[in-house]
């Protein structure tokens, strides 16, 4: 599969959405041959950490919501928002890869 960059140049290989963003908040992509190089392995490990943190935050939230002070709830809500954003990025990336495999 070929991919065209915004400037129109063709790039061969599979394009993968990475589980982190650039400083400006824009998405990062990796063009890969699908062989699982070092950046792909780092992305897999990062996704696993992000999803694990989301699970832990959710469990913590369920325990503390009823009795927590407002400041702690705000902090928890901010972390849950970050975790949800990470999980959605992972889901989007994996969905893109699954669709390409079906095609």
Mean pLDDT for the stretch of residues 23-52: 89
Look at residue 12 in the predicted model and tell me its pLDDT.
67
Q: What predicted TM-score, i.e. pTM, was given to this entire model?
A: 0.69
User: Which tops the pLDDT comparison, 4 or 29?
Assistant: 29
What gap in Å lies between CA 92 and CA 85, rounded to an integer?
A: 11
Q: What is the mean pLDDT of the chain?
A: 84
pLDDT score of 102 more than 90: no
Q: Please name the residue that has the structure tokens 């960059």.
A: 5
Q: Helix 70-102 vs helix 38-64: angle between axes, to the nearest 10 degrees?
A: 140
Q: Check pLDDT > 80 for residue 50.
A: yes
Question: What's the DSSP call for residue 35?
Answer: S
Q: What is the pLDDT of residue 43?
A: 93
pLDDT band at 47 (very low <50, low <70, confident <90, very high): very high
What is the pLDDT, as a whole number, of residue 41?
Answer: 93
């Amino acid at each position: 599969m070929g991919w065209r960059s915004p400037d129109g140049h063709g790039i061969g290989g599979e394009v993968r959405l990475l589980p982190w963003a650039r400083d400006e908040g824009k998405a990062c992509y990796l063009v890969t041959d699908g062989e699982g190089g070092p950046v792909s392995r780092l992305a897999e490990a990062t996704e696993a950490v992000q999803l694990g943190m989301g699970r832990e935050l959710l469990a913590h939230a369920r325990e503390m919501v009823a009795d927590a002070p407002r400041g702690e709830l705000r902090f928890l809500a901010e972390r849950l928002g970050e975790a949800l954003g990470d999980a959605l990025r992972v889901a989007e990336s994996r969905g893109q890869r699954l669709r390409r495999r079906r095609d």
